[in-house]
Amino acid sequence: MIMKKQNQTTAAQKGFTLGKLLGLLALIGLVTGGIWGAKHLLSKEEDKVRQEKYWTAEKADFLVTVKLTGRLASTDVLELKCELEGSTTIESIVDEGTEVKGPFRYAIQAGDTLASIAGYMARDELSIRLLNSVEDIDWDDLPEGQSIMIPGDLLVELDPLNLKERINQMEIVVEKSENALLRMTGNLKNTELSAAFTLKVAENNHKLAVMAQDKAVNSTIKNKIKTDMGSITNLANQVEESREQMAISEAKLKWLKELEEKKFLSKMSLREEELKLTRERNNAQNLRHQIAMAQERLNAYQKYDSVSILNQSELAVDEASVSIEKVKVRNVADLRDANSTIATQKKTFDLEKERLEDLKEQMAATRIYAPSDGTVVYFSESYKEYGPIMDGARVHRGRNLIKLPKTKSLKVELNVPQAKRGLLRRGMKAWVQVEDVTLPGTLSVLGSTVDTNRRGHTEKSYFKGEVYIDNNDFPDAVSEGMTVTVEIKVINLEGENQRIKVPNQCVTTRMISEDTAQTGCYVLDPTTNKHKWRPVTIEYSDENFIAIKEETEPGFGLRVGELIHLSPLTEAENLNLEDAVMDKGIVELGDPDSVETLNAKGGNNEPVNFGLSDEQRKKWDAAQAEATSEITEVIKKIQSREIPQENAVSVLSKVFESSRSKVEKFLIEDQLRKYDAWIIPAKQAAGEKVKRFLSTKPSLGKSVSGKQRRNRK
């Protein structure tokens, strides 16, 4: 229904334009010809009716097709392109159409080396290495019996430019970088040994400091105090001895004095004894002084010196402990610096080594070998911009050079015009004509969004399409790249499905009110011999004929046997000059693909590989029917302006959102994800169509019923 309304809308727009044009022409004729000219035209009307040509309305078979042109392409093909940086030239390339062989296995023989194998096989050493990079192979000592892959036939050889010089320079850089890395690794070992020795010295100093502290506490101070106390004791003993000696001397002196008084002793002897007693008293006093001084020194030592010694020994221990921690921190920093230097150098080495490998890969990319068996086909898409593929041609990185079709299967790449997109759906059968060969095919790909690549080259909108060739048994002359004509079978109206079929020029549009156009035909009234306007609905059409929908309401549609006016102006408006495919009758297409097949491929009625269960299928069909009804109703209201222009897109968007809220109730997560990926392009396309409709379509006013149309007429 939506497609029919779009056809009617298009026809209405054309009718609106044509009606204005005819009105303008009539006005010019009346003004320039005057009243006499108008009467003359009226007087000729009866002759004109008799001279007009008519088409008798009859039901007939109608094969509805869409005719397009496309280009053959392989369905499974390997594309080879230039991988060199910048641009270069082709030194040699294999001839197009050459049958080439891909990689093959080679069993290593005794005495084989990589160089000897490369020379014998006429292959590049690096190309052999790269092809076998996933295998663990010792290229310096190839074991006998081990098999390796040998690249296929040489296809293209590109100019290596200055790659050899760059590789040599980078090899020197890599070697220097590797030597620097080895030197830094050795320095790290020296740093580790030095750090261990320094830490050992610090720990030994700490041990000595602890021993010195223990000695000071348990030996030096104690011994010093004992020695001083012993000296004081000795002095005290001496004082005691001196006291006893003085007592004896004093008693002796007393006795001598008595003798002297009795004249038994001389005065000289008495004086000597007195002097001796004086010396003993002085000595005793000196000893007491020494004892006092020794006691003072001992007190001072205990109060000051011993504490100082203890503090110094404790400080020495702490200093040794701190020294150990400092050594540890310094060692960690030194080792970190050494490791960081090595890591930096290793990254530099790896980067330079990677650059060297890239250069070698670039060098290997100057020779392109066949990745598989196949027939060489040159790329031709960029001929106009870059010139053909040939010896000496200038090529850049990423430019396609060669295609290798892996199978004989072919497809047709199509650009489907917007006007014909609505008639097609995936799974439709098609005839494909290549020169004088006609092949069966199936419409396997039909884009849901406009092909943006095509949009940039033309003002028209196209959708991407592909027709798969169902038959692989075709002549060798049929090959990729050939331009073909495709005729897609839309429907075959035959038997009980026949419709009244009239030429395109029979159907036109006219303005039935100031802002409403109507599609119809002019039917000859046999009683009045006058043309009578008859509204019709176009059900199907091709470049020559239109199938008219059967109508039961009086005054609408066509009846068998009626004479339909052939309008030259309408014929010029609607004539399609596209070429049709020849020999369709001798090529069987088969039935359209089944629902299961289309669902596996991704049909128009559901996403690819949707995987609905029987229960889900019932709910899905009901939801789709409801959504279609809602969308149709909204579009009617948009066309009739019942929905304001500024709200049209948002209202249509809400219908899609409502549909999603219904299906998410019975779809699982994976199915809902596929549904979103499937419905979003459709939603966007619908919005774009509404926007184009609102921006280009003249105001048509509200839709009217059949009874209202008859009353207006």
In 3D, which of 642, 624, 646 has the Cα closest to residue 633? 642
pLDDT confidence of residue 36: 31
| 3-class secondary-structure state, position 443 | strand
Residue 47 confidence (pLDDT):
45
CA dist 167 and 355 (Å) reads 9
Give yes or no for a contact between 73 and 413, defined as CB atoms under 8 angstroms apart: yes
Each residue of 72-89: pLDDT tens digit?
Answer: 888 878 888 888 888 889
**pLDDT of 295-306, one tens digit each?**
898 898 888 888
Confidence of residue 707 (pLDDT cuts 50, 70, 90): very low
pLDDT of residue 238: 86
Can you state the percent helix, strand and coil of the chain, rounding each to 5? 55, 20, 25
Query: Position 502: which residue type?
Result: V
628: nearest Cα among 5, 66, 11: 5
658/432: higher pLDDT:
432
- pLDDT band for position 382 (50/70/90)? low
Rounded distance between C-alpha atoms, residue 240 and residue 354, angstroms: 100
What local confidence, expressed as pLDDT, does residue 202 receive?
Answer: 92
b/e map 326-349, b = 16+ CB within 10 Å: ebeeebeebeeebeebbeebeeeb
Confidence of residue 571 (pLDDT cuts 50, 70, 90): very low
Residues of the chain with pLDDT > 70, as a percent, come to 80
Average pLDDT over residues 192-208: 93
Report pLDDT digits (tens) over 498-509.
999 999 888 988
| Cα separation values, 564 from 42, 45, 399, 408, Å | 22, 17, 58, 51
Q: What are the residue ranges of helices labelled H in 640-700?
A: 648-663, 669-696
Please report the pLDDT score of residue 694 as a whole number: 64
Q: Which residue has the tokens 């176009």?
A: 538
Summarised one tens digit per residue, pLDDT across range 319-333 is 999 999 999 999 999
Q: Is the pLDDT of residue 350 over 90?
A: yes
**How many other β-carbons are positioned within 10 Å of the β-carbon of residue 456?**
7
The answer on pLDDT for 232 being more than 80 is yes
Q: Is 503 helix (H, G, I), strand (E, B) or coil?
A: strand
**What's the confidence (pLDDT) of residue 51?**
55
Q: Where are the domains of the chain?
A: 78-100+367-401, 103-151, 164-265+291-362, 610-713
Highest mean pLDDT among 249-258, 282-291, 587-596, 654-663: 282-291
- pLDDT of 457 > 70? The answer is no
How do 563-565 and 54-56 pair as beta strands?
antiparallel
> 343: pLDDT confidence band, cut at 50, 70 and 90?
very high
> What is the distance in angstroms between the CA of the first residue and the CA of the last residue of the chain?
25
DSSP state at residue 593: P
pLDDT of residue 591: 62
> What is the rounded average pLDDT of the residues 244-253?
82
Residue 711 has pLDDT above 80, yes or no: no
CB 502, CB 545: distance < 8 Å: yes
Query: Is residue 418's pLDDT more than 90?
Result: no
The CATH class that applies to domain 103-151 reads alpha beta
Q: Which of 50-59, 292-301, 515-524 has the lowest mean pLDDT?
A: 50-59
Cβ atoms of 278 and 242 within 8 Å: the answer is no
